[in-house]
Amino acid sequence: MTTDSRVVVVTGASSGIGRATALQAADRGEHLVLVARGESALQETFGECRDRGAASVAVHVGDVGDDAVVEKVVADILEQHGRIDAVVHCAGVVAYGRTEDVPAEVFDGVLRTNLIGSVNVARHVVPVMRRQERGALVLIGSVIGHIGVPSMSPYVLSKWGVRALARQLQLENRDVPGLSVSYVAPGGVDTPIYEQAANYDGFVGRPPPPVAKPDRVAEVALRRIDHPRARTQVGLANDVIRLGFSATPWAFDVLVGPLFRIAAMDRTTPVPPDAGNVLASRPGGNRLLGAQGNALLGVGRNIAAAVTGSRTGQRS
């Protein structure tokens, strides 16, 4: 163990952006604390981090939506390391479906992980960092935390909430200059979250182009530990989308539905109603990258399907 390595906590570390963040932090020789619900995928990340040079790696299997779990994880970290230098909070889930079609427990489950989970992390980490008079909390939001999207109500609400939480925390901690809260909002990222999502929309979701690799978001998130910034958008498309939502809502509202169906759904792959990984982990689906292939080809397939009418969803 090196003495100058930092204690970096990564939630959602078994898949996608969290896994990429953990691996990059391991490359830097940090002490890593990995958190997620499913143990097997988390253990895979553990092995990868250890092999890539982490100063130490600890695994905590737990649900960030459970306040007592987060409290215990933080207590355990303090017992082991005596401090927390940084937290990159990536744990997240998605549900597709109209507001009235997503079952209540699934709707609440998305809010519980994405929003309440972020609150739980802040509730227990911020006091530690305030006592230390230093530390970095990085919250992963989404471009969807700035706009409206049909058939993603719980996710939209949760991510608007994460953005609001980040702003609140920034206001509340202005008196501790060494403590930073950074909000990072990716656009489409090639991770398994779309295939893992709960789905009551009839077709599987997919990341819309331009699609970033999780490594790109991880780089930005880790940079925010040393170079905090209140708000970061990952990808220029985010700015265009946000501008459209705010400046021309009449055009946005007309276009977002059809564009979402063509660019952010796989209209060739129908799926039955399913709670996905919202209520419980499906560790077999947790990987670094998604498995849906090139986004532009996906758009092309959707257009072809629409033209030929081979798959017509009820709500096209």
Selecting among 96, 155, 183, 200, the annotated active-site residue is 155
DSSP H/E element including 238:
helix 236-247
- CA dihedral for 292, 297, 303, 307, sign (positive or negative): negative
Collapsed DSSP state (helix, strand, coil) of residue 49:
helix
CB of 286 to ligand NAP, least distance (A): 5
138 phi and psi angles, rounded to 5 deg:
-115, 120
Residue of 262, 94, 257, 275 whose CA lies nearest to 186: 94
CB of 11 to ligand NAP, least distance (A): 6
Residue 20 or 55: the one with the smaller Cβ distance to ligand NAP is: 20
Residue nearest to ligand NAP (CB): 16
Cβ neighbours of 44 (radius 10 Å):
17
Residue 202 or 214: the one with the smaller Cβ distance to ligand NAP is: 214
CB of 216 to ligand NAP, least distance (A): 11
Are residues 121 and 70 in contact, defined by beta-carbon separation less than 8 angstroms? yes
Give Cβ neighbours of residue 219 (< 8 Å, ≥ 6 apart).
24
Please report, as ranges, the residues that interact with ligand NAP according to CB under 6 A: 11-18, 35-38, 41, 63-65, 90-93, 113, 117, 140, 142, 186, 188-189, 191-193, 196, 207, 214, 277, 281, 283, 286
Residue 48 or 132: the one with the smaller Cβ distance to ligand NAP is: 48
Residue 38 or 161: the one with the smaller Cβ distance to ligand NAP is: 38
DSSP of 168-185: HHHHHTTT-TTEEEEEEE
Residue 169 or 251: the one with the smaller Cβ distance to ligand NAP is: 169
CB of 297 to ligand NAP, least distance (A): 17
Residue 7 or 156: the one with the smaller Cβ distance to ligand NAP is: 156
Q: Is the peptide bond before 283 cis (omega within 30 degrees of 0)?
A: no
Separation between Cα atoms, residue 194 and residue 63, nearest integer Å:
20
The residue ranges of DSSP E strands in 108-193, in sequence order, are 135-140, 179-186
90 phi and psi angles, rounded to 5 deg:
-110, -10
Looking only at the bridges linking them, the beta strands covering 7-11 and 31-36 are: parallel
**183: annotated active-site residue:** no
Please name every residue paired with 89 in a beta bridge, in sequence order, or none if there are none. 11, 139
CB of 128 to ligand NAP, least distance (A): 19
CB of 190 to ligand NAP, least distance (A): 7
The residues annotated as belonging to the active site are 155
